[in-house]
Amino acid sequence: MAYPSKTRIFMTGASGYIGSVITEFAIAQGYEVHGLSRTETNDAKLKGLGAVPIRGDLETLDVLRHESANAQIVIHLADAMTWNPDYSAGLRIDAAAVDAICEAIQGTDKPLLVTSGSLLVEADPNGEETTETSPLQKNPVNQRWKSEDHAIRWAKEKGVRVIAMRLAPYVYGRGASGIRLFMQMHARNGEVTCIDDGSAKTSTIHVDDAARMYLLAAEKGSARNVFNCTSSTDVTALQIAEAMGSVLNLPVKFLKFDEAVAKFGPFFSKFLSAVNRASSAKAVQTLGWEPKEVGILDDIKGGSYLAVAKELRKD
């Protein structure tokens, strides 16, 4: 097969929060990026980054097969479970998309990076860090683990070079992502919610550091590898709440878990109260990756989220 002069990455979710940073960094490193795009708006965003927009979605399987066959690296970031109101239907769409990609690259050494989350793993009973081999949660908030398991089976059973990236619960930076959404919600409510005493420690990673890990995993990761895409594991829910409260000029309101479930539902409540200390030591040792960016608390209090807070404050 004749390949283009530049190494080509085909990416789903390339115009999204994490995907756009991976695209930016990949192009700066000399890669060619083809990004799956569902809208003209995303077409324009990808072109602005220097990528080639490919019209389609996770259900246009012929497009997925064609682009995967003609790329040297495939990165799957798009999440059918988020935009589909039927979670089980989203899982089926994701599985079919992964099947189409894997069919196209089977028998090659092309890597497929799939995206998962470190919240899949049960917290260590002694409060220590967990690893990629730690037991999965017994009662997960959703069935997202099935998508990772489905993709990894292609590696186990058919030798496809599938690599799973487990993102931290808090991917932050550039004034966007979940932190921005939480700040908007807290501003509407007039208070910052913290569940129980806020002592739960969680994993975080700056979006730029996450993007660098993805590219290193595509270059160096072997089949069936799983990497915790995290940096800090010592920040508490209370520290994050207090940081947001300080820049929004809002008080922190403590709720018992059951009260939070009644007010916000189980997913949000479990997210805010989850203990998740997923170590990235494997990525450091295997990929030569290291975090370089500002920590989440400093970014909220004195970095990219100051402008967000200024927009939202009712001074």
> CA nearest 280: which of 212, 178, 182, 198?
212
Residues 195 and 132 in one domain: no
Residues 226 and 80 in one domain: yes
Burial 40-70 (b: 16+ CB within 10 A, else e): eebbebbeebebbbbebbbebbebbbbbbbe
Asked if 302 contacts 177 with a C-beta cutoff of 8 angstroms, the reply is no
Sequence-distant (≥ 6) Cβ neighbours of residue 127 within 8 angstroms: 201, 275, 277
Residues 52 and 187 in one domain: no
Residues 91 and 225 in one domain: yes
pLDDT tens column, 176-196? 999 999 999 999 999 999 999
Percentage above 90 pLDDT, the chain: 89
- Above 70 in pLDDT, residue 4? no
Which pLDDT score, from 0 to 100, does residue 40 have? 97
3-state secondary structure of 118: helix
Q: How confident is the model at residue 79 (pLDDT cuts 50, 70, 90)?
A: confident
Query: At 38, which amino acid appears?
Result: R
Residues 157 and 197 in one domain: no
**Per-residue DSSP letter, 236:** E
Q: Which helix (H) or strand (E) holds 302?
A: helix 296-302
- Above 50 in pLDDT, residue 3? no
Q: Give the domain CATH number at 184.
A: 3.90.25
Tell me the pLDDT of the chain averaged across its residues.
95
What's the predicted TM-score (pTM) here?
0.95
User: Could you give phi then psi for residue 26, rounded to 5 degrees?
Assistant: -65, -45
Q: State the Cα–Cα distance between residues 249 and 140, nearest whole angstrom.
A: 34
Residues 256 and 220 in one domain: no
Residues 138 and 257 in one domain: no
Q: How confident is the model at residue 85 (pLDDT cuts 50, 70, 90)?
A: low
Q: Which residues pair with 198 in a beta bridge?
A: none
Residue 283 maps to a domain: no
Asked if 219 contacts 273 with a C-beta cutoff of 8 angstroms, the reply is no
**Mean pLDDT, residues 190-203 taken together:** 97
Query: At 206, which amino acid appears?
Result: H
Residues 237 and 227 in one domain: no
Residues 126 and 67 in one domain: yes
Q: How confident is the model at residue 140 (pLDDT cuts 50, 70, 90)?
A: confident
Look up the domain containing 177 and give its range. 173-203+233-276+294-313
Which pLDDT score, from 0 to 100, does residue 5 have? 60
Residues 126 and 192 in one domain: no
CA distances from 46 to 61, 63, 146, 214 (A): 21, 17, 30, 18
Per the model's pLDDT, the better-predicted residue between 79 and 94 turns out to be 94
Q: State the Cα–Cα distance between residues 60 and 51, nearest whole angstrom.
A: 20
Sequence-distant (≥ 6) Cβ neighbours of residue 188 within 8 angstroms: none
Q: Give the domain CATH number at 69.
A: 3.40.50.720
Q: State the Cα–Cα distance between residues 199 and 169, nearest whole angstrom.
A: 16
Looking at the 3D structure of the chain, how many domains does it have? 2
pLDDT tens column, 266-286? 989 999 999 999 999 999 999
User: Could you give phi then psi for residue 176, rounded to 5 degrees?
Assistant: -135, -165
Residue 34 maps to a domain: yes
